[in-house]
Structure 1
Amino acid sequence: MQPGLGIALKLVSVLLFIVMASLIKATSDHVPPGQAVFFRSLFALPVIVVWLALRGDLKTGFRVESRMAHAWRGLIGTSAMGCGFAALGLLPLPEVTAIGYAAPLLTVIFAALMLGERLRLFRLTAVGIGLAGVLVILWPRLSPGDLTDLALLGAGLALASAALRALAQIQIRRMVQTEETSAIVFYFSLSATGFSLLTLPFGWVVPALWESALLIAAGLIGGIAQIFLTSAYRFSDASVLAPFDYASMLFALAIGYFVFAEIPTGPMLGGAALIILAGVVIVWRERQIGLARGRARPGLTPHG
């Protein structure tokens, strides 16, 4: 184990995913979310194939034990990305990022319901605190005032994306019992490319040259980020790396302010702080009681 290298890889991947989301957001006024998912998935494929070839994993990367498992993982992950990309067009980048932190909290709940994992009182309390933080962020969107219905829709889409990412994590926990990591990574991008084409009838556009460049860059950067993220877990334990997910808030705040002129609100910052606290407490507690989450492959969640 080389925890320093693992942490460095994790931080780079977190930054790259925020940059990718920023590129998607920059095109969201004109390019539909489904079309953005297509570019994100298609142009990640060559990066992933080259990575598998360099690792000597092309053979295992193409091997499938359960086509249906990959299809479900692809459908759930594609839906998560689509909802997340749609939310980016309606809400500030830091707010979408903060609501997305609900995903690991919901994973704890779904794992108890669907995988029979024991939900201890300590973790349940932490999840409750985190979900209270989500409510703090969403509350201004639910209150009457000068906020638009589109903002409320964006909040709902961001929360739906978090829930779908949690479901994808549950699916991955099942798949790693029989499927190789390389195959899960490759076939997710492949299936997401195919599933995104189903949104063609809902109004794809001919993007401008600069939009095409941003979308292609988003796909390439997303593929590179996925590789950095997956590689990070080869050098350090999941429990060590998990708290560094929350560095994305710092990156999102900086990019949101300097690129999109987005000013974070008090409820957004307060709610994000509660969610981050809950997430860190859960990670610490699981490390203390020795709950192994390594086989869950946290680096395989469908980041949008």
Structure 2
Amino acid sequence: MKSASRSFAIPFAVCCVGVALFSVMDAAMKGLSLAIGLYNALFWRALAGSILGIVLMRATHRPWPCGTVLRLHLLRGSVVALMAGLFFWALMRLPMAEAIALSFIAPLVALYLAALLLKERIGRQAIGASVLGLIGVGIILSGRLRGNYDVDALLGAGAVLLSAILFAWNLVLQRQQAQLASPVEVACFQHLVMLTIYAIAAPFYAVLPAAHAIPLIITAAVLAFTSLATLAWAYARAEAQRLIPIEYSAFVWAALMGWLAFGERLTLATMAGAALIVAACLIAARLGRAPHIEAAIA
């Protein structure tokens, strides 16, 4: 038992670091998107991350992935490209902690996604957990409707919820990808796929960034690449159902980064709603659904 605890401690710690790096990257991307626009922030970060990935793939002599793994890279990269676009569009309109709190509904969506894709039966407790999560979402949104009505912010909240649906699918794909490819390969091909998708619009929207934006682009790319590789390493060494709850620590980092970088205040509605959503996800995690997802994608 002690040996198992020790073997989980390292992936747990590495996953914590990965989540923290992602939160710092979110702050960098929010600042970058506000400075040069969302499309250019995504495009230039993907380009910088792809260059970094190719260099590391060559340096570590990684072979080209086989057809099955390559198709998985293409699928997850496409999902993440759309997910990132929706999330960062929302992040330009919402405080970071609020956006992250709303995105926590993804594990609940994953339950229904598993039922749809894997034909699993959803129990009464799972439905109750989903209702509790939706109440949490409603509490967060109530802060927008009660004296702080802002159509743009409500559209941002809707974009986060759509992004959460894609993130739920991403959770299902993440463990499978981590088991089949190295952390460097996972991060490299995710950036390459995203770059390919974003490059379609480059002739119409891409603009060379100003010199002052280049350090932020490089920082965002390095943070994104490092966090992807870190999480891939952790998910390859521990069950997804034990690591996914660590995602909730992103709320603390988002609140801290939002306050430090953008002067955002943490509201009572956001904290209460986040607490309900996290409680709902933890209830759902105890229902034994995650192991079935694990078995299906392993």
TM range (shorter): 0.7 to 0.9
Q: CA deviation at 1:266?
A: 1.6
Q: Residues 197 and 121 (structure 1 numbering): CA distance in 2 closer, same or farther, change over 3 Å? A: same
Report the counterpart of residue 139 of structure 1 in structure 2: 142
Corresponding residue number in structure 2 for 1:240? 242
Give the superposition deviation at 1:79: 0.7
Q: Which amino acid aligns with 2:40?
A: Q
Which position in structure 2 is the counterpart of 1:124? 127
Bigger mean CA deviation after superposition, 32-41 or 61-70: 61-70
Superposition TM-score, scaled by structure 2 size: 0.85
Give the gaps of 5 or more residues in structure 2. none
**Cross-structure match for 1:180:** 180
Greater mean deviation of Cα atoms: 252-261 or 277-286: 277-286
* Distance in 2 (alpha carbons) for counterparts of 1:157 and 1:206: 27
Shift of 1:9: 0.1
8 Å contact from structure 2 (residues 49, 188) kept in 1: no
Q: Which amino acid aligns with 1:95?
A: E
Aligned partners of 1:264 and 1:84: how far apart in 2?
19
Match of residue 302 from structure 1: none
Q: Deviations over 1:231-278 (max 9, x none)?
A: 112333323222211111111111111221111112111111111111
Work out the CA distance in 2 between the residues paired with 1:235 and 1:172: 12
Runs of 4+ aligned structure 1 residues displaced above 6 Å come to 53-56
Out of 40-49 and 23-32, give the one that drifted further: 40-49
Give the one of 258, 269, 272 matched to 1:270.
Answer: 272
Contact (CA 8 Å) 1:92, 1:256: kept in 2 or not?
yes
Q: Call closer, same or farther: CA 1:238–1:68 in 2, change over 3 Å.
A: closer
Cα distance between partner residues in 1 of 2:105 and 2:171: 13
Q: Alpha carbons of 1:228 and 1:184: their partners in 2 closer, same or farther (altered >3 Å)?
A: closer
Deviations along 1:193-226, one digit per CA (max 9) or x if unpaired, are 1111233366444322232211221111111111
State the one-letter code of the partner of 2:14: L
Give the direction of change, closer, same or farther, for the CA distance of 1:184–1:292 in structure 2 (3 Å limit): same
**Letter aligned with residue 42 of structure 1:** L
1:15-40 alpha-carbon deviations (Å, 9 max, x no partner): 10001000011122232222222233
Q: Determine the C-alpha separation between the residues in 2 that align with 1:23 and 1:294.
A: 36
Matched with 1:94 is 97
Evaluate the alpha carbon distance shift between residue 150 and residue 204 of structure 1 in structure 2; reply closer, same or farther with a 3 A threshold: farther
Which stretches in structure 1 are left out of the alignment for 5+ residues?
A: 298-304
Aligned counterpart, 1:37: 42
CA deviations over 1:89-131 (Å, ceiling 9, x no partner): 1111111111111112111111112221222222222122112
- Give % identity: 29
CA shift in 2, pair 1:201/1:119, >3 Å? farther
Q: Select 2:12's aligned residue among 7, 27, 35.
A: 7
The aligned residue for residue 219 of structure 1 is 221
Q: CA deviation at 1:49?
A: 4.8
User: What corresponds to 1:167 in structure 2?
Assistant: 169
Cα 1:137–1:190 shift into 2, 3 Å: same
Q: Determine if the alignment matches structure 1 residue 107 to structure 2 residue 117.
A: no
- Are 1:75 and 2:67 counterparts? no
Matched residue type, 1:133: G
SS at match of 2:36: coil
Checking the alignment, whether the CA contact within 8 Å between 2:43 and 2:206 is kept in structure 1 is no
**72-81 vs 103-112, greater mean Cα deviation:** 72-81
Structure 2 counterpart of 1:293: 294
For the aligned residues, what is the CA RMSD? 2.9
Contact 1:102 1:275 in 2 (8 A): yes
Deviates more, 1:36-45 or 1:95-104: 36-45
TM-score of the pair, normalised by structure 1 = 0.83
Query: Which region of structure 1 is more displaced relative to structure 2, 148-157 or 89-98?
Result: 148-157
Q: Is contact 1:27–1:214 with CA below 8 Å preserved after alignment?
A: yes
